[in-house]
Structure 1
Amino acid sequence: MTKTKMRTYSYFFLLPAGIIYFVFYLLPTILSFFFSMTRWTLTKWTYIGFENYATFFSETSLSIGFRNTLVYAVVTCGLKVVLGLLLGAFLTSRILFKNYLRSVIFFPTLLSTIAVGIAFSTMMHPSHGMFNTVLASLGITGPDWLGNTKIALLSVAMVDVWKGVGVATVIYIAGISAIPQEYYEALKIDGGNNYSAFWNITLPLSRPAMNSVIILAFIGGLRSFDLIWAMTKGGPGFTTDLIASIIYKQYQAGFYGLATAGNVILFIAVSVLAFPLYKFLTKSEVNL
C-alpha cells in the first residue's frame, strides 16, 4: 500500500469523530452567528441584520453585567490560583492523613452547583441563616449577604471559590508532584528551609500548573451562570447580574434572537480575553 493510500485510509478513522464535532459544535456555532441576526421562534425567522446587537448593547444593565462579569472572573480566578497553590503545596508535604485531606478539599467539586447555591442562599439568610446565627452568638450583627448591594457579588464569588478550589488544588498537586525531588535535596544540602524551597523551587516549577488553573478559572468565571442564578437571580437589582444571566433573562422573555446575539458577544469576549492571556502565560513557562 502506498503512502498516499495509507494516509487516506488513516483519515477514515478520524471521520466519525469529525462528523460528531461538526454536527454538535461547528454547525451550532455557525448557526448561532446567523440566528443572532434574525428575529426567530421555533417555527419561523426574519432576518434583521445587526439590530439585535444594537439592542443588546443599548440595554441599561449591559454595562453593569460586563463590569460584574470581569470582577467576578478576576476575584474567583485570583483566589482559586492562590488558595489552590497553598493547598497543593500543603497536601504534597509530609503530613498525616494526606489522602483524606485531599478528598475533603475535592469533595465540594462533586456537588451539584444548583444544590450548593440553594444551600448557601439558605445559610446566608439575614435573619435565620447559619452564618448570621453564629455571628449573633458572638455578639456580632451579620450583614445581609445576598441582599446588600455592596457585598452580594463577592458573597457569591466566595461560594464559587469554595466549590471550585478543589480542581485547582488537584492540578497543583499533579504539577508539584512532577518536580524532581533532587532539587529539594540539593537545596537542603545548601542549608535551605521549607520557605526557600517553596519560593525557589515549588513556585517557579509549578508555573505550567498555575497557568492551567488561571486559564480554566478565568474562563469559568466569565461564563458563570448557574451559581449566580441559584443564589440571587442577578439581584438585588442588577447587582449580581452577569452577561450569562442577562442572556438567560432575554431567553425567558422570548427574545431568542436577542439572546443568541448575547451568546455570540459572550463567545467573542471570552475569546478576546482568554487567547491573549494564554499566549502571555505560556510564553514564560519554566520547563523541567
Structure 2
Amino acid sequence: MTPTASVKASPERTAGPADPRRTAPPRTAPGRLRRTLIAWGFCSPFIALFATFGVWPIFSSLTMSVTDITSRDLRTPFRVNFVGLENYNALFSDPTFARAILNTFYFVAVGIPLTMVIALALAVALNSGIQRAKVFFRVAYFAPVVTSVVAIAVVWRYLYKPDGMINSILALIGIHGPDWLNDPSWSMPALILMAVWRHFGIPMVIFLAGLQAVPAELYEAARIDGATRWRAFHSITLPLLRPTTLIVAVLLSVSYLQFFEEPFVMTSGGPLDSTTSISYYAYEQFGFGNYGLASAASYVLVAAIALLSFVQFRIFRAKA
C-alpha cells in the first residue's frame, strides 16, 4: 500500500496592530521639493566658495601642468599648447629638482620620527609624571605652534650664528660649532631642529588626548601581574595608541612634505640648494614665470603625499 503524504495547511497570520508610520500620509512632491531647495540654498554659499577657491584652482593647476603656459601667455591664453607629460619629463631631468626631492625626503625621514618621539615623550610626562604646573607646561610646549614663523626665524638665526648661543654652548665642552646656515652639510639638520621645535606641539596634544583615553584599569592589572613600566608602555600604551599615531603621522607627513617656510625665511634654499624643497622649487618656478613647470612640481608633491599617507595607513591600521 502506497503511503500518501498529508499536507497541513499553514495557519494564517493574524494581522497585528497597524503601524502608524505606514498609515501616515505620504509626503507630497511639492513639499519635498521645497525642503530640498531650502537645504541647497543654505549649502550654496559654502559650495560657491569651495568651487571658486578649491575646485577651480585644482582644475586650473592640473590643466597648466600639461601645457606650455608661461608668464608671457597670460595676455594671450589661446597660444598655450598642450604638451602632455613634457613638463614632468623636464622636472625629472632637472638636477635641481632631483636635489629638491632628496632634501624633502631627508627632511621627512628625519623630522617626522624625531617629532613623534619628542611629542609622545612629553605627552607621557604631562599625563603622569608632572602634576604641578601641568597647564603651564602644556601652554609653553604649544606656544611655538601659534608663534609667527618670521619671529621664530629671527630668533633661530641668531642662535645659529657662528658666535651664537648654540656654538657658545658647544665651545664650553670643547666643540667648535659650524656656521650652521651657511654650511651645506649642516644647513638641513639646522632647519630640521627648528622645525621639530616648532611643530611638536600639536602632536603632543593629540598624543595626550590618546593617553587620557586609555583605561587606567589596564595599567593596574599589569602592575598586579608584575609588569614594569616599560613593559606596560610597550604592551598597553603603544598598541592602544595606534589610531592616534596614524593621525599624527599623516598630519606630520602632509605638513613636512610641504616643507617651505623654513627655507624661505632662513636660507632661501641655499647654500648650494642644500635646503631647496619641492614646494620651494615650485615657488621659484612660479616666480620665474614657468607656470606649467611649477604646476607639474606641485602635482609630484601631491602624489608623494598620497603615497606616503597610503603607506602609513597600511602600517598603523588597527589590527583585527
**TM-score, structure 2 as length reference:** 0.81
- CA deviation vs aligned residue, 1:195-221 (integer Å, no higher than 9, x gap): 232122211111111111111111211
Q: Secondary structure at the match of 2:289?
A: coil
1:24 aligns with 2:63: no
1:158 aligns with 2:187: no
1:33 aligns with 2:62: yes
The residue aligned with 1:266 is 301
Distance 2:319 2:257 in 1: 24
| Structure 1 residues 31-110: aligned runs within 5 Å | 31-36=60-65, 37-41=67-71, 42-45=74-77, 46-50=80-84, 51-95=86-130, 96-110=132-146
Q: Which has the larger radius of gyration?
A: 2
The residue aligned with 1:123 is 159
Closer, same or farther in 2 for the Cα pair 1:2/1:57, shift >3 Å? farther
The residue aligned with 2:318 is 284
Moved more, 73-82 or 180-189: 180-189
> Which one scores higher on RCO, CA 8 angstroms, separation ≥ 6?
1
Distance 2:153 2:76 in 1: 37
- CA deviation vs aligned residue, 1:229-282 (integer Å, no higher than 9, x gap): 2111111101111111111121222222321222222222222332x2243145
Using the TM superposition, give the Cα deviation of residue 9 of structure 1 relative to its aligned residue in structure 2, in angstroms.
5.1
Using the TM superposition, give the Cα deviation of residue 2 of structure 1 relative to its aligned residue in structure 2, in angstroms.
5.1
Distance 2:37 2:221 in 1: 52
Closer, same or farther in 2 for the Cα pair 1:282/1:150, shift >3 Å? same
| Structure 1 residues 217-256: aligned runs within 5 Å | 217-256=252-291
Closer, same or farther in 2 for the Cα pair 1:285/1:100, shift >3 Å? farther
- CA deviation vs aligned residue, 1:97-128 (integer Å, no higher than 9, x gap): 211111111111111123212321221012x2
Distance 2:290 2:244 in 1: 41
Moved more, 204-213 or 2-11: 2-11
Closer, same or farther in 2 for the Cα pair 1:14/1:282, shift >3 Å? farther
Moved more, 199-208 or 167-176: 199-208
Q: Secondary structure at the match of 1:149?
A: coil
Using the TM superposition, give the Cα deviation of residue 33 of structure 1 relative to its aligned residue in structure 2, in angstroms.
0.9
Residues 183, 271 of structure 2: 8 Å contact kept: yes
Q: Secondary structure at the match of 2:200?
A: helix
Residues 74, 218 of structure 1: 8 Å contact kept: no
**TM-score, structure 1 as length reference:** 0.90
Count residues in correspondence.
284
Closer, same or farther in 2 for the Cα pair 1:2/1:184, shift >3 Å? farther
Paired AA for residue 314 in structure 2: F
Moved more, 226-235 or 39-48: 39-48
Could you tell me which runs of 5 or more consecutive residues in structure 1 were left unpaired when the two chains were aligned.
none
Residues 73, 220 of structure 1: 8 Å contact kept: no
1:169 aligns with 2:198: no
Q: What's the C-alpha RMSD, in Å, of the aligned pairs?
A: 2.2
Q: Secondary structure at the match of 2:95?
A: coil
Residues 269, 276 of structure 2: 8 Å contact kept: yes
Moved more, 1-10 or 244-253: 1-10
Paired AA for residue 64 in structure 2: F
Residues 156, 227 of structure 1: 8 Å contact kept: yes
Using the TM superposition, give the Cα deviation of residue 11 of structure 1 relative to its aligned residue in structure 2, in angstroms.
4.4
Could you tell me which runs of 5 or more consecutive residues in structure 2 were left unpaired when the two chains were aligned.
1-26
Residues 74, 221 of structure 1: 8 Å contact kept: no
The residue aligned with 1:111 is 147
1:191 aligns with 2:191: no
